[in-house]
Amino acid sequence: MNDVFLPDLACLTGLCDETPDTRTFRLRFRDSSKVKDFRFLPGQFIELSVFGYGEAPFCIASSPTRPEALETTVRRTGQLTDALHQLGEGNEVGVRGPFGNGFDVAAAEGKDLLFVAGGIGLPPLRSLIWNVLDERSRFGKVTILYGARTPADLVYKRELDEWGKRSDVEFRVTADSAQPGWSGAVGVVPTLFRKVDLRPKTSLAYVCGPPIMIKIVVQDLVALGFKEEAIISTLERMMQCGIGKCNHCAIGHRYVCRDGPVFSYGQIKELVD
């Protein structure tokens, strides 16, 4: 029997600097059978170990439709992430998972989809976005709205350009404040709502970003006619073990790592209340 607390060795096979403090890491398991058998859903996360520093949970940013690439995007926020950013291609890390419930892709089939992300909140949605775009005929209208504090804080800039050029996606990007050379929209993400064709009655909305952004976006979506159960987000609350044993992420009777991290807004309201 596999020990769920024992990480599998993985090699860093690719690095991409997204912003001055955020980097995307591409991983490949040392064990070829693990490479073949590793399956995950958009929205799930892994526990990543930096040897000598510990482990922490990070969302899987790549899509299950592209199994050759397992990617996670990490911002430098402390000792462990600093150590991770010091690693280069060929260095080894430990990986446990995948954990969590993930997004229900089957439930989204045939529906219009709205993605709303702020800053480092795009990586958890990137996995689902590429899953949808790689199987585009299964879904209705796709709208992607993304914003960050400044243009320099936008992640996946090449992919943003690609999404903006697609005829089967309505894509808008904004920055809270402009910088020299920026020709895009200026303002917080909710200001983009009036610039796109929203369809509350037939849509699912996926929201991820800073807590204050999520709060404002959800309030606006509800006011626009979105049902609470049709607004879906991800929570990050003190996750540690990944399997609901350590109680660090417990909220009432639920564990974010096991029952989430994906919740509908209706479920989040129940947890908070």
Annotated binding site for [2Fe-2S] cluster: 241, 246, 249, 257
Tell which residue, 192, 199, 207, has the closest CA to residue 115.
207
Which residue is listed with tokens 């209705």? Answer: 140
Annotated binding site, which residues? 241, 246, 249, 257
For residues 61 and 11, give the distance between their C-alpha atoms in angstroms, rounded to a whole number. 17
Structure tokens at 195: 């610039």
Which amino acid makes up residue 108?
A
Rounded distance, CA 11 to CA 255, Å? 30
* Cα angle for residues 10, 16, 21 (degrees, 5° grid): 105
114: β partners: 143, 205
Beta strand pairing call for 142-148 and 170-175: parallel
Nearest to residue 189, comparing CAs of 217, 170, 228? 217
User: What is d(CA 261, CA 89) in angstroms, rounded to the nearest whole number?
Assistant: 29
Residue with tokens 């992919």: 159
* Three-state DSSP state, 265: helix
